[in-house]
Amino acid sequence: MEFIDLSREIYHRTPAHPSHPPVIVTVWNDHSEKKVAGNTVFTSKSLTLSLSDHSTTHVDAPVHFDPRPGALSIDQVPLEKFYTEAICLDLSHVPLKHAVTVPEMEDALARSGQEIRKGDTVLLWMATNERLWGTPRYPHDFPGLAVESVHWLADRGIGMFGVEAVSPAPEGELNFQAHMACAERGITHMECLCNLDKLVGRGRFRFIGFPLKIRGGTGSPIRAVAVFE
């Protein structure tokens, strides 16, 4: 069995979406602090994390983008949604800031030699990290989906899709539209994935990306993994 780690690291001030607070990591205690009980001296180290529920590699809960009462928070979304079959489409050729069209999605699916099945997770490699990671343009200049392409995925019965960028669609109005389309169609998406290039051309795989059980959470960091049996 082969595991491919699709999650970014969580670390102090890791790049974040401009509308979310930064990740702050501090040392709570370390091995310089000795605890004595009887004849035993013990030391330990632990950290404190302050982070948005949309920090680093994460999944959006419906309540994030759906204002209707009853929209599910992350602790209410069935675990089955995060343990699915999956494919990854190669959209690495699209220009930065580009909104991927339906014909481009159809072309990428045809080139993959795969089909989209009901309940699938569909990952979209747009070579965002390769082109933007570590630069000030990372949270702004990424490509993403045109709203029609979000509907195209929903029409094929997916459960969720995932991208490397901080948003599923290019910054601004298109990003708002993509989130609202997810609400309308009952699907969701993951952001800030990595290593999607390692999935291209490898067919169908198992996707695992369980969220933390955050009461009322509007999303959650996930440890996203592709598993090839």
What residues line the site for Zn ion (CB under 5 A)?
Answer: 60
Would you say 112 or 183 has its CB closer to Zn ion?
Answer: 183
Which residue number, 114 or 178, has a Cβ lying nearer to Zn ion? 178
* Cα distance between residue 155 and residue 229, in whole Å: 28
CB of 1 to Zn ion, least distance (A): 30
Read off the tokens for 33.
């602090």
Instruction: Determine the 3-state secondary structure of 172 from DSSP.
Output: coil
Q: How far is the CB of 113 from Zn ion (least distance, A)?
A: 29
Which residue, 88 or 168, is less far from Zn ion as judged by CB? Answer: 168
**Which letter does DSSP use for residue 196 in this model?**
G
For helices 147-155 and 173-185, what crossing angle results, to 10°? 20
As measured in angstroms, the least distance from the Cβ of 47 to Zn ion is 26
Q: Provide, rounded to whole angstroms, the least separation between the CB of residue 191 and Zn ion.
A: 5
Q: Is the CB of residue 196 less than 8 Å from the CB of residue 164? A: yes
Task: Give min distance, CB of 60 to Zn ion, in A.
Answer: 4
CA distance 208 to 214: 18
- Indicate the SS3 state at residue 4: strand
Looking at beta carbons only, is 60 or 164 nearer to Zn ion? 60
Pick between residue 60 and residue 66 the one whose CB is nearest to Zn ion: 60
Structure tokens at 147: 């709203």
CB 81 within 8 A of CB 211: no
Collapsed DSSP state (helix, strand, coil) of residue 161: strand
Residue nearest to Zn ion as judged by C-beta position: 60
Nearer to Zn ion, 65 or 205 (CB): 65
Residue 75 · residue 219 · CB < 8 Å: no
At 186, the amino acid letter reads G
Residue 194 CB, shortest distance to Zn ion, in Å, is: 16
Q: Cα separation of 38 and 183, whole Å?
A: 58
**Least separation in angstroms between CB 173 and Zn ion:** 15
Q: Which is nearer to Zn ion, 105 or 165 (CB)?
A: 165
Task: List the Cα angle 213/218/223 in 5-degree steps.
Answer: 50
